[in-house]
């Protein structure tokens, strides 16, 4: 079953059929945001701007081990250059052989990951390639002292998180949302809902909002996920990062602010 089919089923099950009308944003009652687990987990590009369930053109890396900081239970930001890439600070997707290792991935902690490392590319309509790094059959061989999770130090886009199925159904559109917004919907939910109901139609660029934490949504012309036609929502400082990064050579791997 393809991801588009999975998402269609999620929307159909979680929302009344009348809420799925495609004639523009539906004005409905305030949306409740349930806490659920996203399945399946998409892979994040090296900057976190793009995601994919199965990017192609995979190549093996010579490295067998990397060191970095835990971003989530399945994502790290590496401190070193590896896999024939000249930059540090890129995101690596971690696919553990033993799921119990994920419980030791405390956000902000320094970790050492061993595994089979691969690069992958995804053609974005012939305009550019989204780049991915993946640690397959991974093992957590070392982790910093267990402590309370540190505040997020980088962010990435999550496309169609199940917590937002109800809102997506009312809007008649899938949603791609900055992960640090989704993590605290009890606080960010009202601002996210208001912004998603009035998305901008222009391509994301440097924002001039007085509040860097203001939530702003755009029609997702750059396709956070190549399989979705979405509304993309993030904080103003995220769009400022993306607008500036687009004009630089490193635009696809400079990590985004939290």
Prior bond to 256 cis, omega within 30?
Answer: no
pLDDT more than 70, % of the chain: 81
Residue 126 banded pLDDT, cuts 50, 70, 90: confident
- Distance CA(101)–CA(155), nearest Å, equals 22
The pTM is what? 0.82
Q: Which of 81, 225, 235, 207 is nearest to 158 (CA)?
A: 225
Alpha helices in the chain, H assignment, sequence order: 3-14, 165-171, 179-182, 185-196, 236-245
Q: Which of 56, 42, 33 is nearest to 183 (CA)?
A: 33
Distances in whole angstroms, Cα of residue 119 to Cα of each of 37, 44, 56, 60, 132: 27, 12, 9, 7, 6
Residue with tokens 């790290």, as numbered in its chain: 76
Query: Tell me: the pLDDT tens digits for 180-230?
Result: 999 999 999 999 999 999 999 877 766 666 799 999 999 998 889 988 889
Pick the range with the lowest mean pLDDT from 22-31, 52-61, 111-120, 168-177. Answer: 22-31
For the chain, domains (ranges, CATH) are: 3-40+154-245 (no CATH), 43-143 (2.40.50)
Residue with tokens 């976190």, as numbered in its chain: 48
């Amino acid at each position: 079953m393809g991801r588009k089919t999975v998402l269609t089923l999620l929307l159909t099950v979680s929302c009344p059929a009348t809420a799925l009308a495609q004639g523009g944003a539906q004005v409905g009652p305030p949306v409740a945001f349930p806490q659920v687990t996203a399945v399946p987990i998409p892979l994040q590009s090296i900057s976190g701007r793009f995601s994919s369930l199965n990017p192609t053109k995979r190549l093996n890396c010579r490295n067998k081990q990397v060191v970095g900081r835990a971003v989530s239970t399945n994502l790290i930001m590496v401190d070193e250059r590896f896999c024939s890439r000249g930059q540090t600070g890129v995101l690596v997707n971690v696919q553990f052989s033993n799921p119990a290792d994920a419980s030791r991935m405390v956000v902000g902690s320094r970790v050492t990951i061993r595994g089979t490392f691969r690069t992958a590319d995804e053609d974005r309509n012939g305009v550019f390639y989204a780049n991915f790094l993946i640690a397959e059959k991974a093992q957590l061989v070392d982790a910093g002292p267990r402590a309370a999770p540190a505040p997020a130090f980088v962010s990435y886009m999550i496309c169609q998180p199940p917590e937002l199925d109800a809102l997506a159904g009312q809007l008649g559109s899938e949603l791609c949302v900055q992960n640090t917004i989704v993590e605290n919907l009890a606080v960010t939910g009202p601002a996210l809902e208001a912004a998603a109901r009035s998305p901008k139609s222009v391509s994301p660029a440097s924002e001039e909002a007085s509040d860097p934490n203001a939530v702003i949504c755009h029609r997702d012309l750059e396709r956070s996920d190549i399989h979705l036609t979405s509304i993309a929502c993030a904080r103003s400082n995220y769009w400022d990062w993306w607008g500036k990064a687009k004009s630089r050579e490193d635009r696809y791997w400079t990590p985004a602010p939290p």
